[in-house]
Amino acid sequence: MDAANLEAFLLVNDFKGLHFPRAAFLGCAGRREVVYPIHAAALNGCPRLLQLMLGAGADPDQKTSFGRKALDLVEEAHFDESHSEVLEILRQLQDERDVRRSRDFASQGSRDSSSSKLSSLSKLSSSSKLSL
């Protein structure tokens, strides 16, 4: 599967481009939900198509109009290993993002702590100066 297949998928599924949404009926709720190609690809269950979209810049965190990500939709649709490879790809991406966020948070916390310590030391040194 290559870029031509990706373009064909977008065309057949009425998407104007990788980052353009459209309304769709998902599930049996009978309500229209605005989805992006990443959602349709994930529900399609084709891991290669999903990887092509991700490689082309599709955002796995993109939400539908109901606030659902591709991972949420696949978890709902997954039955009897039907979407196992796609599910694995999306879960791995989610885990990697969670690790990155944790590192960023920890790093930010240590910077804030260092900054606070420096500020306290500065205040302490200026208040403890001897006047002669």
Residue 114 above 90 pLDDT?
no
pLDDT of residue 86: 96
Confidence of residue 131 (pLDDT cuts 50, 70, 90): very low
**Residue in 57, 94, 59, 97 with CA at minimum distance from that of residue 75:** 94
Q: What is the largest CA-CA distance in the chain?
A: 84
Domains and CATH numbers, the chain: 3-97 (1.25.40.20)
Angle, alpha carbons 62-66-30 (nearest 5°) = 130
Amino acid identity of 20? F
The rounded distance, in Å, linking the Cα atoms of 132 and 51 is 72
Contact status, residue 42 vs residue 90, Cβ threshold 8 Å: yes
Confidence of residue 130 (pLDDT cuts 50, 70, 90): very low
**pTM of the complete model:** 0.74
- Of the two residues 13 and 124, the one the predictor is more confident about is 13
pLDDT, tens only, 35-83:
999 999 999 999 999 999 999 999 999 999 999 999 999 999 888 888 9
Contact status, residue 10 vs residue 19, Cβ threshold 8 Å: no
